[in-house]
Structure 1
Amino acid sequence: MDARALIGCRHRLHLDAAHPEALVGISDDPGVRQRREAATAHRTKVRDTLVAAAPDAWVVIDPGLRAAERAEATMRACAAGAQRIWGGLLPQELDTGRRGGSEILLRDPDRGGYVPIIVVNHKVTDPRQPEPADFHPTTSDPYHWHPQPDPHRKLRPQPRDQQRLAHLHRMLQRHGLASPALVGGVIGYHFDRILVHDLGPLLADYDQRYADRIAVVRGELPTAPSKVPECRQCPWWKRGIEGPSCEDRLIERRDVSLVAPGSRAEVLRGHGVETIDDLASWAGPDPEDWQHGPFDEAVVTARAWITGAPLVRRVESVRVRRADVEVDVDLESFQEYGAYLWGTLLDGVYRPFVTWDPLPTDDEGRSFGEFWTWLMTVRAEAAAAGKTFAAYCYSRTAEDKWLYESARRFAGRPGVPTVDQVRAFVDGPQWVDMFQAVSDQFICPNGKGLKKIAPVAGFAWRDPEAGGEASMSWYRLAVGYDGAPDLTQRTRLLEYNEDDVRATQVLREWMTRRADVEVPGLADFGQVPDLRPDGSLRGYAVLPPLAPSLGRGGTIAT
């Protein structure tokens, strides 16, 4: 078992280990495959750059060797005192079940032994202005190991990275090769620093977690399905092997994780709440260990699931900021390489600003500059005509990220704004996040994504496969990463992006005109239907009212 099994679903781990033959021929989800390919490319770039800077300091283990040969080569390099080892694979431990390797094994220059350093394709820190703080993460230059508190960085917690480092430390420790410093490092996407983790406080949790997971693999501990984010890409979610599929089993027993997935379900089970009906009929004070937002909302979510309501109104009257001139905006990006498409909708006309040069490309700066210039021109013309203006997106996190990143990367190019200009716009009232408007005014039992919410307003995407993960595959074909460019996929991406901006417009109009009438409010959930096993209505169970603070639109009536 490697460190990946430490973070994720225990039941999936059991099924994978017990029925490996059932996975033969099942391909990875396209999004998973693309992320894996991107991670491999990133690690190759880091390896080539670091080794080229000091070739005499490195021992590179041949990745083409068999696993046992790689492990032998790694142990020989460690015994010889190699300063830096790339691609080290540690011997598999037959008694404990551990296996694993580290992109870098760095010999501790002060204390001896080796520090494991892993290379990942996600962010591990964010830049920040130097400021006094109670905690500064420790970082080191990638080329010269010298860990120091770093006031220029703030930490992005990644438990999976920490568990993997603890796993590698225990494997090194077995052979007397672990540095006494009890640290490990991570090189993230930007490859600018090594984030250094103190492994001492992590080892007890790691040991407990590993003991649990290896017992699951060996069939010594029982497991049961429970809905977690991982289910979206799991081959067992809709595929039965030990009876019905995970999804069918959860629906059959009306499992509470269907409305309170992940750690929320674990908390609820600790209070005897096993089913959606248990949660819907909760009476008494909120659980003291509930740390997932207002507990009353979890109860309402359960009641809404039972009645089949896709949304519940928190407020008496739904409101959305409106303007005389309204522009809808949606971007498409590829991994961390850049944003290749900024789609807009104004007065019913869709305008894309796009580059089809494969990312990364300088032409991205041209398309971004043209988009920003057009958007600011529309805003200025509205102001000159005495009209109000607003631009709308759905979940501004991605748009904000690529607005700032593009402004930094393409500074000085025609039409490209400064970072301060971007900040002034996104922090102002004219940049409206429809996701926030939905979150503030609705409880969403089925999720808050645009693909979940817009259909309630009556919108449908033209492409039945429309989605962020699928668009990554379309993009690879559209720009010719793996062959000649496929122009039909460019059309597909443009239509997908156009549908996204049209969806935000339809959602806004619906929230303004019809949502008050079509969506039940909190006061409608004081009773829950008592259903027979065949789904027919037996009657209604009267439930206690929810707290008055739940919504400005009123409390649940009993």
Structure 2
Amino acid sequence: MRAAEDDFDGGPVRCPAPASAAPDRGAEPRSRGAFLDARSLIGCRHRLHLDAQHPELLAEVREDPGVQQRREAATAHRAKVRDELVAAAPDEWVVIDPGLRAAERVAATMGALEAGVPRIWGALLPQEADTGRRGGVEFLLRDAERGGYIPIIVVNHKVTDPRRPDPADFHPLTSDLFRWAPRRDKHVKLRPQPRDQQRLAHLYRMLQRYGMASPALVGGAIGLAFDRILVHDLTTVLADYDQRYADRIAVVRGDLPTQPSKVPECRQCPWWVRGPEGSPSCEGQLAIMRDVSLVAPGSRAEVLRGHGVHTIDELAAWEGEDPEDWQHGPFDEAVVTARAWIAGAPLVRRFEQVSVRRADVEVDVDLESYQEDGAYLWGTLLDGVYRPFLTWDPLPTTDEGRSFGEFWTWLMEVRAQAHAAGKTFAAYCYSRTAEDKWLYESARRFAGMPGVPTHEQVRAFVDSIEWVDMFQAVTEQFICPNGKGLKKIAPVAGFHWRDAEAGGEASMGWYRRAVGYDAPSDLTQRTRLLEYNEDDVRATQVLRDWMTHRAADEVPALPDFGR
């Protein structure tokens, strides 16, 4: 089981010398027969070590529902891309049957490559016993001009964003989906995806081994939008890939030691809460060590270790000038966070008073979405009454437009009535990124349906002072040693969710059962989702009241922990 590749922290990786670009095909295999695919190049090195050393324990771990759902969505996306590409020019394609045994798929792939087939889908390249490389690719495109093949991956995330043309901007290379013709594309901007570049470099090295790599030194990625191929120049990527691969294969083979460190990936990693037999979990080991990553996760911890700070206590005792290479906000706050953790304080108040915008009429809003398919539920709370606007038709569905239109109409009516009565109005959410995204997306997708606003109407609302992000209010008011998520902050204010498993990842599985994706609809899961959504909006309301009336008395202030 692998973590979602989005969890890569992006911090520095200490690497030995680069791996050979084209190993001797007759070289003797190294010990333990370890193999590595491109997914293992991004993410936690210690997890990679534990996965390799204790595969029997992984077999007992139930896969995270969110990871499973993302995999299923990716499989469906790739099938759609395959069907449309092959249908456009069936005579140019060889499609490798995924039902074949691995050896048969490899043989079919190598036969197609040697025959010079223009386009190959579902290629599986030979495992390399000496280097440990293994991997496959959705799409291999023959380079008609230079010879060899260009690897093109199909991914279930965005690789570009739309934008208005600007001559001053950098324009990425893209190509038409059905005819390879790379050119500068002024209509999109690049979304950096290191994982995609590493995978393409991995595949390029595997093709290069057999003299099948295009000398153009490029690869491609077809993203979620399925509207173009983003072209990646691999010239500068390969050297970094070689170093990263050499490091990771050495970890898998047990030739390099690793230590746990808290990174975003830990949220979904089985080793975070469970260690190998007789050993503590990563969380337990870090707590014993009082490791600095517990309060400065990811690349922050790497910076601190570079200055000799390995424990929370060492960070709390920091004196002197701030590190010149610290790029994670005020360094004083990192020191205060360490001191608060030692004192057991879940929050530290930045100012003498705590404030949050209040209004005569207040509405709390929280949405529930499924993958990139849509937002099926807009939950609201007004005067203590919970009101959901929803569809139980499986997404994607036009009925989502009906429920969104009803939600927007109701919200704007409440707002208009408040204004007409001479009262102030505010709508609240927690971390507005998702709400803003689906407000805009829903307005675009369902334009013209009853009650659905225009893009300009959405923008006017979300840019106004009447749309309040409680996450921003918390960020501005408090330092949070244990994190700033609603599930971390609301319990400090005295709120608790009815469902012990409540969370975004878990809700994905509940939704699948609620609408009957895999079996007949489970109505109990609909109730579960509604209660979860209701608890979220009530949590923001409780948090707001707490910040207004009690937080200043209950939360220690910054001077109590200052340097």
Match of 2:7 in 1: none
Match of 1:176 in 2: 211
Greater length-normalized contact order (CA 8 Å, ≥ 6 residues apart)? 2
- SS of corresponding position for 2:272: coil
- SS of corresponding position for 1:116: strand
1:61 to 87, 92, 96: 96
2:190 to 155, 158, 177: 155
Match of 1:413 in 2: 449
Q: Deviations over 1:399-440 (max 9, x none)?
A: 000001101110000000111111111111111111111111
- CA shift, 1:488, in A, is 0.7
Match of 1:91 in 2: 126
- With 406-415 and 189-198 compared, the bigger mean Cα shift is at 189-198
Equivalent position amino acid for 1:15 in 2: L
Distance 2:384 2:469 in 1: 19
2:137 to 97, 102, 110: 102
- CA shift, 1:134, in A, is 3.9
- CA shift, 1:130, in A, is 1.1
Match of 2:489 in 1: 453
Distance 2:159 2:549 in 1: 44
Q: Deviations over 1:277-319 (max 9, x none)?
A: 0000111111111121111111111111000111111122111
- CA shift, 1:327, in A, is 0.6
Distance 1:290 1:12 in 2: 26
5 Å-filtered alignment, 1:114-513, equals 114-241=149-276, 243-513=279-549
Q: Deviations over 1:118-138 (max 9, x none)?
A: 111111111111112341111
Distance 1:460 1:396 in 2: 21
Equivalent position amino acid for 1:467 in 2: G
Is 2:65 aligned against 1:30? Answer: yes
Match of 1:552 in 2: none
Distance 1:148 1:367 in 2: 41
Q: Deviations over 1:371-395 (max 9, x none)?
A: 0000011111111111111111000
- CA shift, 1:339, in A, is 0.2
Distance 1:133 1:500 in 2: 43
Match of 1:549 in 2: none
- CA shift, 1:342, in A, is 0.3
- SS of corresponding position for 1:344: strand
* RMSD of aligned residue pairs (Cα, Å): 1.0
Spell out structure 1 runs of 4+ moving beyond 3 A: none
Distance 1:17 1:50 in 2: 37
- With 476-485 and 109-118 compared, the bigger mean Cα shift is at 109-118
Q: Deviations over 1:501-552 (max 9, x none)?
A: 00000111111111111111110114xxxxxxxxxxxxxxxxxx2xxxxxxx
- SS of corresponding position for 1:59: strand
Q: TM-score, with normalisation over the residues of structure 2? A: 0.92
Match of 2:12 in 1: none
- With 134-143 and 91-100 compared, the bigger mean Cα shift is at 134-143
Distance 1:318 1:195 in 2: 47
Match of 1:76 in 2: 111
Distance 1:22 1:428 in 2: 52
- CA shift, 1:25, in A, is 2.5
Distance 1:370 1:120 in 2: 34
Distance 2:232 2:553 in 1: 53
Distance 2:222 2:331 in 1: 38
Distance 1:249 1:59 in 2: 50
- CA shift, 1:266, in A, is 1.0
Q: Deviations over 1:344-374 (max 9, x none)?
A: 0111111100000000001000000000000
- SS of corresponding position for 1:200: coil
Distance 1:508 1:364 in 2: 30
Q: Deviations over 1:450-480 (max 9, x none)?
A: 0001111110111111100010010000000
Equivalent position amino acid for 1:109 in 2: A
Equivalent position amino acid for 1:231 in 2: C
Distance 1:386 1:109 in 2: 70
- CA shift, 1:243, in A, is 2.0
Equivalent position amino acid for 2:224 in 1: Y
- SS of corresponding position for 1:236: helix
Distance 1:291 1:172 in 2: 39
Distance 1:471 1:110 in 2: 49
- CA shift, 1:263, in A, is 1.2
- CA shift, 1:192, in A, is 1.0
Distance 1:12 1:82 in 2: 39
Distance 1:295 1:358 in 2: 47
- CA shift, 1:487, in A, is 0.7
- SS of corresponding position for 2:47: helix
Distance 1:126 1:91 in 2: 35
Identity of aligned residues (%): 82
5 Å-filtered alignment, 1:512-523, equals 512-523=548-559
Distance 2:376 2:441 in 1: 13
- CA shift, 1:484, in A, is 0.9
- CA shift, 1:27, in A, is 2.0
